[in-house]
Amino acid sequence: MDDRGHLTTEQRNPQSKRLDRMSTEEAFDLINAEDAGIAAAVADAREEICRAIELVAGAFQAGGGLVYVGAGTSGRLAVLDATECPPTFLSPPSTVQGVIAGGHEALTRSIEGAEDSPLDGAAAIDQRDVGAEDVVFGIATGGTTPFVHGALQRSRQRGAKTVFLGCVPKEQVVDEADVSIRVVTGPEVLTGSTRMKAGTATKMVLNMVTTIAMVRVGKTYENLMVDVNTGANAKLVDRGTRIIQTVSGLSRDESRRLLDNAGGHVKTALVMNAKGVDCETAKCLLEEQGGHVAKVIDRSSIRDAGM
Please give the pLDDT value at position 64: 98
Is 234-301 a CATH 1.10.10.10 domain? no
| Torsion angle in degrees (nearest 10) through CA of 67, 73, 79, 83 | -140
Confidence class for position 299, pLDDT limits 50, 70, 90: low
Q: Of 10, 34, 48, 115, which residue is the catalytic one? A: 115
**CA 236/CA 229 separation, integer angstroms:** 7
CA distance 205 to 43: 10
Q: What percent of the chain has pLDDT over 90?
A: 87
Q: Which of the four pLDDT bands, split at 50, 70 and 90, describes residue 24?
A: very high
CA distances from residue 79 to 40, 91, 148, 161, 201 in whole angstroms, order as listed: 25, 15, 14, 19, 16
User: Is the pLDDT score of 302 beyond 50?
Assistant: no
Domain range list for the chain: 8-216, 234-301
Amino acid of residue 41: A
- Give the integer Cα–Cα distance in Å for 229 and 91: 9
Triad 127, 130, 133: Cα angle to 5°:
165
Give CA angle at 225 (300, 218), nearest 5°.
70
Domain 8-216 bears CATH identifier 3.40.50.10490: yes
* Edge-to-edge order in the sheet of strand 135-139: 96-100, 66-70, 135-139, 161-166, 179-182
Could you count the other beta carbons within 10 Å of the beta carbon of residue 126? Answer: 13
Q: Strand, coil or helix: what is 185? A: coil
Does the pLDDT of residue 300 top 90, yes or no? Answer: no
Say yes or no: do domains 8-216 and 234-301 share a fold.
no
Interacting residues of 257 by C-beta distance below 8 A, sequence separation 6+: none
pLDDT tens readout for residues 221-270 = 999 999 988 887 899 999 999 999 999 999 999 999 999 999 999 999 99
Verify whether residue 84 is a known catalytic residue: yes
Instruction: List the catalytic residue out of 54, 84, 133, 254.
Output: 84
Pairing of strands 96-100, 135-139: unpaired
139 three-state secondary structure: strand
Crossing angle for the helix pair 72-89 and 197-216, to the nearest 10 degrees: 30
Note whether 263 and 191 are within 8 A (CB): no
Radius of gyration (C-alpha) of the chain in whole angstroms: 22
Query: Which pTM value belongs to this model?
Result: 0.90
Amino acid residing at 214 = M
Measured distance CA(69)–CA(78) in Å, rounded = 7
pLDDT at 5: 65
